[in-house]
Amino acid sequence: MLGQQIINGLVAGSAYALFALGLTLMFGVLGVVNLTYGFYFAVGAYLALLAAGAGAPIALALPLAAILAGLVAVVLDFLLLTRLRRTRAPELASLMVTLGATLFLYSAMSALLGSEIRRFPAGLLDNGAFALGAYRISVGQILIVGTAVLLSLGLVSLMGATRTGLAMRALAENSDASELMGVDTQAIMRRVSFLSGALGGAAGVLIGLEYNAIAPYMGEAMTLKGFAIIILGGLGNIGGALAAGLLVGVLEALTAGYVSSVYKEAVGFLLLVLTLWVRPQGLFGRPGARRA
């Protein structure tokens, strides 16, 4: 059972990691606590559901949903935060604005689409599974892990090897200085919004596939978990978010399997509290450093 639980945990963990990646990027580069992030998660899932309902295969529905969720993120970021940035409003202001917007967006979504759980049409994914000895890995699980790995590798190479990535890192370090150095900060911010929205949307599709359940409020609990993960990983730390996402996924599975399913949801937050006591900068963060 141990092996199977670890596999389950790693699969859930890779979706968590993907979700946390977008969140930590948004936080690290844009420097705002943007609570609408969970909404992109739900938007991605619903868009993929719509596309699949119209007959699109998952290979089309997933990227389409991610791209559209990214565009939604760009628009929302522009509408909600442009003014606050221009007036250099304190961080609390962006927190309040995005909190209000999220509540509105979730309610509007459930009024529009209904709050009941929706599911992808049967047969969207091959129902098959591979047996590795005593372990089972389904096609859906392979898709989740594969997508998470590809997107994370893509993001890491984007950050490390392109001019856009360099500009993003510069922006994370100091937005005024990078603007003075000729970086088009507005354009970079839009790109970061798009990337993080797309990552959140993709994570929504994957979680929706794995658990076969999509609901307007699915992003709410996930946002809390996402914050726990990026704090564990060290705020703005991409590698940290990935590692912490996997860690929380595996710990949840092991807790449910060996302790009690009652404590499954609590384990990530327990780990968070313990970490903040011992290493306030996060498990993988460096003191005083802010990286993207």
Partner 1 sequence: MTHAPKLSPSRRSVFLCALLGFAVLARGAEAADPITIGAIEILSGPNAKYGFSIKNGFDLALEEVNRAGGVRGRPLAIAYEDTGGSKEQAINAARQLIARTKAPLLLGPTLSTEMFAVGPIANERKVPIIGTSTTANGVTAIGPYVFRTSLPEADVVPVTLRTAQAKFGVKKVAVLYGRDDAFTKSGYDVMKAALEKLGVETLATETFGAKDTDFSAQLTKIKSLDPDAVVMSALADAGAGILLAKEAQGFAPKVRFIGGNGLNSPKVLEIAGAAADGLLVGSPWFIGKTDAANQKFIADYKAKYGGEPDQFAAQAYDALHVAASAINAAKDVTGEAIRDALTKTKIVGVTGPLSFTPDRDPADSSGVLVLEVEHGAFKILD
Using CB under 8 A as the criterion, which residues of the chain lie in contact with partner 1 when the complex forms? 1, 4-5, 8-9, 12, 116-117, 119, 122, 127, 129, 136, 138, 140, 210-213, 217-218, 221, 252-253, 255-258, 260-262, 264-265
Residue closer to partner 1, measured from CB, 104 or 263:
263
Q: Which tokens hold the place of 17?
A: 């990691």
In the bound state with partner 1, the residue whose beta carbon lies nearer, of 10 and 242, is 10
**Nearest approach, Cβ of 152 to partner 1 (angstroms)?**
21
Which residue, 84 or 254, has its beta carbon nearer to partner 1?
254
* Residue type (1 letter), 37: Y
**Least Å distance between CB 134 and partner 1?**
9
> At its nearest, how many Å lie between partner 1 and the CB of residue 14?
14
Dig out the tokens for 86 from the structure. 């221009």
Q: Which is nearer to partner 1, 151 or 250 (CB)?
A: 250
Q: How far apart are CA 74 and CA 43, in angstroms?
A: 13
Q: How far is the CB of 164 from partner 1 (least distance, A)?
A: 35
How near is the Cβ of 139 to partner 1 at its closest, in Å? 10
Q: Which residue number, 116 or 176, has a Cβ lying nearer to partner 1?
A: 116
Between 78 and 211, CB nearer to partner 1: 211
Paired tokens of 48 = 């993929």
Task: Indicate the residue among 179 and 265 with the shorter CB distance to partner 1.
Answer: 265
Question: In the bound complex, what is the minimum distance in angstroms from residue 4's beta carbon to partner 1?
Answer: 5
Alpha carbon distance, N-terminus to C-terminus of the chain: 37
In whole angstroms, what is the distance from residue 256 CA to residue 272 CA?
Answer: 18
Cβ at position 41, least distance to partner 1 in Å: 13
Q: How far is the CB of 6 from partner 1 (least distance, A)?
A: 10
205, 48 contact by CB (below 8 A): yes
Q: Is 105 left (phi over 0), alpha (psi -120 to 50) or beta?
A: alpha
The residue among 70 and 226 lying less far from partner 1, judged by its C-beta, is: 226
